[in-house]
Structure 1
Amino acid sequence: MRWIPVRPGRFWPTNLLRQQVFALKSALWLSRHRAEYDVLHVNGFISWVRADVNTAHFVHGGWFASRYYPFALTKGLWSAYQYVYTRANTVLERWAYRRSRAIVAVSGKVADEIRRIGIDGSRVGVIYNGVDTRAFAGARPDRAAYGLPDDAFLLLFVGDLRTPRKNLGTVLKALTKLPEHVHLAVAGYLPGSPYPDEARALGLERRVHFLGLVKTMPTLMSSVDAYVFPSRYEAMSLSLLEAMAAGLPVVTARTAGGAEIITADCGVVLDDPDDPHALAGAIGELARSRERCREMGAAARELMDQFGWAQMGAQYLALYRRLMPSSQSSAHGAPGPAAVAGPAPVATQEPL
């Protein structure tokens, strides 16, 4: 693998501007070196260049159309910026998808959203996000490493703690309706997050454990009893798959991409991500039976055997070969991968 540094510079005031500089610089480099690669693979709108494969990890148009989209031009400067960011990326991603030969959605939900923004459905297929199943299945619990109580029924939430999209607020409200022995560990970037103050206001400061960024996620996930993630919008949550690979029962919502693969044997999928009563009920059922938790966790881990990196990589390689001219494909031979410009594959399941 060859890494090409593209530096947009550190002086741009917003991510939106910084991403545009990267898109232009990367397009200039790729236009000069395009002949060196058999397949060009990008993620969404990342460069002003036509791609062979475009993997959609997020659909800004889908998030904007969601009933849970919270931002507006009239709600303050930060909200206005988020609104402009979403609208700009909605236009840019549509441009990128229309100019890509094949579009890989990381879930069926994402595929539907791409079709709804006017993209030809015949070029859209699904390769689900994958996970390092061995790393998560083989980890050992260590609550002491994170300062977590041994005697609690411990939930885990992982995600961005600075915006309401991941929906930690509803999890906190649900926790107020659950017995005292049910605790919550929260992993994510804390500076600027409103949730520590919200937890204190709800009287949960002794039951909610904010861990900050965690680099040893397999160990953390093996140390808890269940994973809770009622995200208001998600393309295909990697943390949800990792939790299942770690052998955890999961509680999520239909609005979270990934819910489509969860069966009643391994998790609970709520209709409304903002219903704390339903969320508390689902968590309470798990907290009442550790044996049921273990059974559901085992089923989740078994399901994740279908979502490993090897399966994902095989599907991407098959797609690359299909898009290559027949003479190039045969020259590479069956076992060898195509030369690819773009990110390493990060997902898999249904063939495109």
Structure 2
Amino acid sequence: MRVLHAVRSDGFAGVERHVARLARAQAEQGDQVVVVGGDAAPMARTLGAAPVRLVPGATTRAVVLALLRFGPEADVVHVHMTAAEVAATVAATLLPLVGAGRRRLAPVVATRHFARPRGTGRLGPVVAAVARRRVSAQIAISTYVADAVDGPSVVVRPGFESASTTFPRSDERDPVVLVAQRLEPEKRTDAALCAFHASGLAAQGWRLDVAGDGSERGALVDLAEELDVGTSVRFLGRLDDVDALMGRASVMLAPCPVEGLGLSVLEAMANGLPVVAADAGGHVELLGGIDDVLLNPPLDAAAAGRALAVLAHAPGRRDAIAAAARSRQEDRFSPSAQAIATDRVYRAALGST
């Protein structure tokens, strides 16, 4: 299968990591894969030795031009997020006028990463109509997302494979709670700071490491000082690879109440790191049933703080959770399973055109 992925981006956050990991799994299974968009350096590191071609796609225009160039050779065009969907519609309109060889765009498959309908603001309905026009099939990264987006979706959950087959025991880890996410309002990193404060762990020598950056960083630094935990909180900025942090931390905190799935949570599961998370969104699909302490009412800092304190003082329980979570990740959320399920969607889309 010749697959062309497209995302309008020059960054490397959750969606770009998703694209790179899927492209790598597809290439390793024999597909010919081109990826348009994403920050080239971390994309290349994630792809490793997989023979995937990377093409810049920082703007919608750049994505359109890439689709015009590479689209006619693809069997499937797989777009991620609304801007890339719009680019596919524009490219499909222009291709009969400027394209050589095959003059139509391949069937378009869209992955929905966020639990909301297409389009926002005054022009939202128009943008949504343009975006969905060329989409032949739609993938949702979780049941939570599928229930929230417009149009029918096939649920294909992301896969992740840790670089290590073993992970440190609890007594070998640092007394650190880790948060790994963008510092934007919807992620509610403020709730993580409040939960760490409520846990009382700062007074016991524990530290909160915050990996990520965004518009709220300054306000969060101020909040840490207001909560009197500033000396126990490290803001590490944006990191392309947090596996090393996950291998040393003792607990991860995931406060976002609207997470489509939670790729950082999935990474933590693969790294044997217990996660205290908001009992909402895709977190439920990842962590539900492993241990009652893991999921807590969304934005309830006191409850999340109590869960952190319980796990901090129960290393044996952390080890049991880590083993159960790792087993679930390997069984249900592997890159090969994701690639196989995605291929089924592609073939259904090809059969319907």
State the Cα distance separating 1:112 from its structure 2 match: 0.4
Match of 1:39 among 76, 85, 88: 76
Which ranges of structure 2 fall in alignment gaps of 5 or more residues? 1-31, 39-56, 90-106
Structure with larger RCO (C-alpha < 8 A, sep 6+): 1
- The residue number in structure 1 matching 2:294 is 268
List per-residue Cα deviations over 1:91-148 (Å, max 9, x = no partner).
534642353111000010110011xx4x2x3xx1100111123x1544669xxxxxxx
> Match for residue 158 of structure 2?
129
Q: Percent identity?
A: 28
Which of 177, 185, 195 lines up with 1:164 in the alignment?
185
Match of 2:279? 254
1:197-346 pair list within 5 angstroms: 197-266=222-291, 268-271=294-297, 273-305=298-330, 306-325=332-351
Q: Does 1:177 align with 2:214?
A: no
Cα distance in 1, alignment partners of residues 234 and 299 from structure 2:
22
Counterpart-to-counterpart distance in 1, 2:174 and 2:71: 56
Q: 1:103 pairs with 122, 126, 138, which one?
A: 138
Structure 1: segments with no counterpart, 5+ residues: 8-19, 65-82, 142-149, 329-352
State the Cα distance separating 1:255 from its structure 2 match.
3.2
TM-score, structure 1 normalization = 0.69
For 1:100, the aligned partner's letter is: V
1:285 maps to a residue whose letter is V
SS in 2 for 1:177: helix
RMSD (Å), alpha carbons: 3.4
Equivalent pair of 1:139/1:218 in contact (CA under 8 Å): no
Counterpart of 1:22? 59
Deviations 1:41-92 (A, max 9, x none): 1113213325521011124438x9xxxxxxxxxxxxxxxxxx85xx656753
Distance 1:93 1:43, change over 3 A: farther
Give the equivalent residue in structure 2 for 1:49.
Answer: 88
Relative to structure 1, the CA distance from residue 276 to residue 99 in structure 2 (aligned partners, 3 Å threshold; closer, same or farther) is same
One-letter identity of the residue aligned with 2:110: N
Deviation at 1:312, TM superposition (A): 1.0
Letter in 2 for 1:226: V
Report the equivalent of 1:15.
none
Closer, same or farther in 2 for the Cα pair 1:233/1:89, shift >3 Å?
farther
Match of 2:54 in 1: none
